[in-house]
Chain A
Amino acid sequence: MAKALNPAAAPDAVRPYLESYGRMLLIRLFEQEMHRLFLKGEVHGTTHLAAGQEAIPVGVCQVLEPDDYVAGTYRGHGHALAKGTSPEAMVAEMLGRATGVCGGRSGSMNVIDRERGLVGCYGIVGGSIAAATGAALSAKRQGRVAVAFFGDGATNQAYFFECLNFAKVFELPAIFVCENNWYGEFTPMQQVTAGADIAKRAEPFGIPSRVVDGNDLWAVVDAAGEAVERARGGSGPTLLECQTYRHYGHSKSDPATYRPEGELERWKERDPLTLARTRLLDEGLEPDAIDAVEQATREELDAAVEAALAAPYPDPAAKPATEFAPA
């Protein structure tokens, strides 16, 4: 990532946000490329795109240390890229190539990148909540924190209630980040969520929670920073309800016709990338500095796609599957 973030010209206070802006753009471009490559038949099965939701993982990861843990979802390309997984290894994984971050064995929904602290991405709704709760058991010993990203749909799973309770009982350094995009697959959140208030669900557990503008990078960084501080200080878990919107449908088979007319357009007026760019300019950054980051990011992703398309498919003979890790 570092090469995408050129301008040393940026003042210290703004630089992390400029870097995050670059990473948000990387995720957006990545998702657009996945959309294109899926239609070309290069990406297989299905994908769940996170365009529109970029500020949440990027904002949270801005306040994490490299060795902190993150668990993502099947809409997880952004979770991996935000935690620092190489774009080339991510593209290659989507294309099923040997150079993929998981050698082409995991695909879009189940990316794991241990070196970057990406515990995994989970194809089961709520799976990330459980994984991060367990990672928080380790993190507590290691002086780290563990973050779970999950959607609004996951807040009706047993995992959500069991793990919030478990994490609080043991005061685990866990941060539960709900990306509330208002739809569980095709169904409106309010229709299937009693109380329709996700942040409030933390209250009876004695877990602090906040509703966050998930399209505002600064708001996410602020809320996540507070949660991380709480976790590292031994005061246990936090629930953040980050409100956002996905630009694409649930998955590749979903044209999202269930959305009321104009809803997408209204949310696009608050596109997290536009908001961040405007804010960076307000902070006094020169347009040239932002342009340079955008240019570098585009080049980085183009190079990643080119390299991944040229990469070989896995050779079963070269690396035979083994059922078990050697004892």
Chain B
Amino acid sequence: MSKLEFRTAIRDAIAEEMRRDESVIFFGEDVAAAGGVFKATPGLYEEFGPERCFDTPISELALAGAAYGAAVTGLRPIFEIMFGDFMALPMDSLVNQAAKYWYISDEQGSVPLVVRSAVGAGGRFGAIHSQNHGTWFQSVPGIKIAMPSTPREAKGLLKAAIRDPNPVVFLEHKRLYSVKGEPGPEDEVIPLGKARIARPGSDLTLVTIGKGVSDALAAADELAPRGLDVEVVDLRTLRPLDLDTVLESVARTNRIVAVEEGPRTGGWATGLLGAVTEAGLHDLDDAWIIATEETPVPYSPILEDAFLPDPATIVESVTARLGAPVAS
């Protein structure tokens, strides 16, 4: 079977769901005629026409408001906020309206919308085109946050997000768009809220999300010959957060390290480790976090590379922390 590219997985997921359900529409800045600035959505406009796939003005507040209003009146909008950093603009419709609708309406209805964005650092885009906004939304009940790690995951999770009756914030790491991987089975839908064991291991749980997963797997491969069997947990979603899978893993390994591309303060890793400590202290021998500095993302390649966690950072941190497992 031929390999699937991450950006194609995104496109295929949207196309398949638009074919399946007439109420699904897709809009954003330069997503239709141009096929997206990361070329993640070519061909949709041609297949579905301007009524269901259209380019919008650069108006993030209007986009999110329109998606919310459409979602509570019968449509299932997918819209793109090009860079995750731009999500600072449309927060009101998402946080104050979409996320709260199910509860404050007394469950009269829900808000089936998906907002996709390119996120993450490493592309030399500077401080305001490189952030991960997942944690901005993590303290908001009523909104789901998904971040795929592979092409197969991207397709399955996006299809689930589109079918989900709740608002979903969907983060696509821009350094994954060109990654190719094994596709999943036809019409695979990966449930939101269930983490996956990306690599089983017995000595240390390495928990992460998005691009962090491939970094963690590379680090695990490097640590294995040194006698450290690392289990990698791919969270898939930050909300709902699958604490059970993490706790089960920690019960096996007794050690956990969370790798987050973002600052430690207010990050998902601190919250997760707090929850693991609360529920699984008896299983824990060690727990720590690898995160970024408490600064904006820098521009210069030298600075940005030093800023970001990568496989080498993880290996170094693990060996330093666990007393350098002996090379065999």
* Residues of chain A at the chain B interface (Cβ within 8 Å): 69, 71, 100-106, 110, 112-115, 119-120, 122-124, 127, 129-139, 141-142, 146, 158-159, 162-163, 165-166, 169-170, 321-327
- Contacts A119-B73, A166-B56 hold; do A131 and B104 have CB atoms under 8 A apart? no
Chain B: minimal CB distance from A7 (Å): 34
CA of A131 to CA of B113, assembled, Å: 13
A105-B104, A321-B103 given; 20 more Cβ-contact pairs under 8 Å: A105-B105, A105-B106, A110-B100, A112-B104, A119-B73, A120-B97, A120-B105, A124-B92, A130-B62, A130-B92, A133-B69, A134-B71, A135-B70, A137-B66, A137-B77, A162-B57, A162-B59, A165-B59, A166-B66, A323-B142
Question: Which of B57, B62, B75 meets A138, CB within 8 Å?
Answer: B75
Chain A, Cβ-Cβ closest to B25: A137
CA of A305 to CA of B129, assembled, Å: 54
Chain B: minimal CB distance from A14 (Å): 33
Interface hub of A100, A162, A326 (most chain B Cβ within 10 A): A162
CB pair A165–B57 under 8 Å, yes or no, is: yes
In the assembled complex, B141 has its CB within 8 A of some CB on chain A: yes
Complex contacts, B67 vs chain A, CB 8 Å: 134
CB pair A134–B68 under 8 Å, yes or no, is: yes
Question: Which of B73, B97, B192 meets A327, CB within 8 Å?
Answer: B192
Chain A, Cβ-Cβ closest to B54: A170
CA of A104 to CA of B106, assembled, Å: 8
In the assembled complex, B130 has its CB within 8 A of some CB on chain A: no
Chain B, Cβ-Cβ closest to A174: B69
Listed by A's residue number, 20 A-B pairs whose Cβ atoms lie within 8 Å are A102-B104, A105-B104, A105-B106, A119-B69, A119-B72, A124-B96, A131-B72, A134-B73, A135-B72, A137-B70, A138-B70, A162-B61, A165-B57, A165-B62, A166-B62, A323-B240, A324-B110, A324-B165, A324-B166, A325-B165
Tell me the total A-B contact number using a CB cutoff of 8 A. 159
Question: Which of B51, B64, B75 meets A130, CB within 8 Å?
Answer: B64
CB pair A138–B64 under 8 Å, yes or no, is: no
Category for how many chain B residues contact A: 35 or more
CA of A61 to CA of B219, assembled, Å: 63
CB pair A324–B102 under 8 Å, yes or no, is: yes
CB pair B66–A158 under 8 Å, yes or no, is: no
Complex contacts, B64 vs chain A, CB 8 Å: 130
CB pair B106–A133 under 8 Å, yes or no, is: no
CB pair B61–A138 under 8 Å, yes or no, is: no
Chain B, Cβ-Cβ closest to A117: B73
Complex contacts, A326 vs chain B, CB 8 Å: 165
CA of A69 to CA of B62, assembled, Å: 18
| 9 interchain residue pairs of minimum CB distance | A134-B69, A130-B65, A325-B110, A103-B106, A162-B62, A138-B73, A162-B59, A166-B62, A134-B66
Interface hub of A139, A322, A325, A326 (most chain B Cβ within 10 A): A325
